[in-house]
Amino acid sequence: MLALPAKMTKPLTVGSRLICDDNSGAKMVQIIGVLGGRTRLRRVPRAGIADVVIVAVKKGKPEMVKKKERALIVRQRKEFRRGKERIRFEDNACAIIDDAGLPKGTEIKGCVAREIADRYPKVVAIASSVV
């Protein structure tokens, strides 16, 4: 797996709610687990941009609600450093992906962070803009 070019903060914990920014059918999701989140005993796992999380769909199409899916975090409100500048988005958002890392939707409505371009090029290809 390729390293991230920025010093990434991880502000999202288990229980955080995210906007699902693709057209897979989910609108609002809640994080229920972090894949690859190595933490200390009894510490809540955290996630940030370019992390894959297990989510439960809370709002959306009736066939998607109450389903568990994998999601890739594409935006976060907490600022992170990219070189000498600090980047911050206006919301926390994710995109639903499958086990191979390919997106389930065909478009992402908002912008995505540049840090996910190397690891997940197919997700960046369907995004409207990359920041």
Q: Specify the higher pLDDT residue, 38 or 102.
A: 102
pLDDT digits (tens, 9 = 90+) for 45-93: 999 999 999 999 999 999 999 999 999 999 999 999 988 899 999 999 9
User: Residue 79: how many CA atoms within 13 Å on its side-chain side?
Assistant: 8
∠ CA 89-110-130, rounded to 5°: 75
Query: What is residue 38's predicted lDDT score, i.e. its pLDDT?
Result: 84
pLDDT of 4 > 80? The answer is: no
What mean pLDDT value characterizes the chain?
94
In the chain, domain spans: 12-130
The CATH number of the structural domain formed by 12-130 is 2.40.150.20
pLDDT of 8 > 90? The answer is: no
pLDDT digits (tens, 9 = 90+) for 90-126: 999 999 999 999 999 999 999 999 999 999 999 999 9
Burial (CB count <10 Å: 0-12, 13-18, 19+), residue 80 = buried
Mean pLDDT for 24-40 is 94
pLDDT of 37 > 90? The answer is: no
